[in-house]
Amino acid sequence: KQEVTQIPAALSVPEGENLVLNCSFTDSAIYNLQWFRQDPGKGLTSLLLIQSSQREQTSGRLNASLDKSSGRSTLYIAASQPGDSATYLCAVSIAYNTDKLIFGTGTRLQVFP
Amino acid sequence: SQTIHQWPATLVQPVGSPLSLECTVEGTSNPNLYWYRQAAGRGLQLLFYSVGIGQISSEVPQNLSASRPQDRQFILSSKKLLLSDSGFYLCAWSLKGPPLHFGNGTRLTVT
């Protein structure tokens, strides 16, 4: 059974820091991995999608890497800003052509001025 | 552009009452549709998904059911709510693959 773990559960950093969020999964047989952002009381916003054949994806100040064989992904946020404060969730896809995702419990990030 | 609408945003219902949550998607055709639940302190759990009208797959045994009466409409229902049905319900859509696009969710409190 696929399990997804995110470390740390919470993180508080001053503005401007570069930071790394970690995601690990127990079964390497995944189709893709997605990183989402969730603001309090809101739905999820897709940030980055990494297909199983890819090693990393970048969008602006965000960079996500995937090491499928070791069951790990990291989300790197450069030059963090207070607007980055949110919960970040990773999820792995376990079925082709559908979004049957297994989610981690998230990392709650606070960036203070 | 595509948009997804979920309503209501919040709902307080007594135990034993029925439930109907609605989700509609605009700007696309034949999407895959999903219902996820986020319980306090737990990750998101997939409840149902649908790849077409009238086609529903259930992921976990529970007190809930789903229906897809139209291409872009997905409904989550219960005949009698339980306390354990409380949570944050999220509807989502995709076009036969990632990424997944979520609605703003419904906060359900069963009292």
Tell me which chain B residues have a C-beta less than 8 angstroms from the C-beta of A32.
Answer: 98
The arithmetic mean of pLDDT across residues A19-28, rounded, is: 95
Of B41, B44, B94, which is closest to A103 when you measure between CB atoms? B44
Sole residue written with tokens 């893709």: A32
- Cα first-last separation, chain A: 41
**Residue contact A99–B105, C-beta within 8 A:** no
- Tokens representing A77 are 């946020």
Residue type, A102: I
**Residue contact A89–B102, C-beta within 8 A:** no
- Is the pLDDT score of A36 beyond 90? yes
- The predicted pLDDT at position B73 comes to 96
The answer to whether B59 and A100 have CB atoms below 8 angstroms apart is yes
Burial of residue B20 (number of CB atoms within 10 Å: 0-12, 13-18, 19+): exposed
- The predicted pLDDT at position B96 comes to 78
- The predicted pLDDT at position A41 comes to 87
Number of DSSP helices (H) and strands (E) in chain A, helices first: 0, 11
- The predicted pLDDT at position A97 comes to 66
Element (DSSP H or E) covering residue B49: strand B44-52
The answer to whether the peptide bond before residue A8 is cis (omega within 30 degrees of 0) is: yes
**Residue contact B46–A89, C-beta within 8 A:** no
Q: Which residue of A has its CA nearest to B107?
A: A41
How high is the mean pLDDT of chain A? 94
Query: CA of B51, closest CA in chain A: separation in Å?
Result: 8
- The predicted pLDDT at position B99 comes to 85
Query: CA of B82, closest CA in chain A: separation in Å?
Result: 22
Query: What 3-state DSSP class applies to A83?
Result: helix
pLDDT band at A98 (very low <50, low <70, confident <90, very high): low
> What is d(CA B67, CA B102) in angstroms, rounded to the nearest whole number?
18
- The predicted pLDDT at position B12 comes to 97
Tell me which chain A residues have a C-beta less than 8 angstroms from the C-beta of B41.
Answer: 105
pLDDT means over runs of 10, chain B (111 residues): 92 97 94 92 88 90 91 96 95 88 95 96
Sole residue written with tokens 């970690």: A22
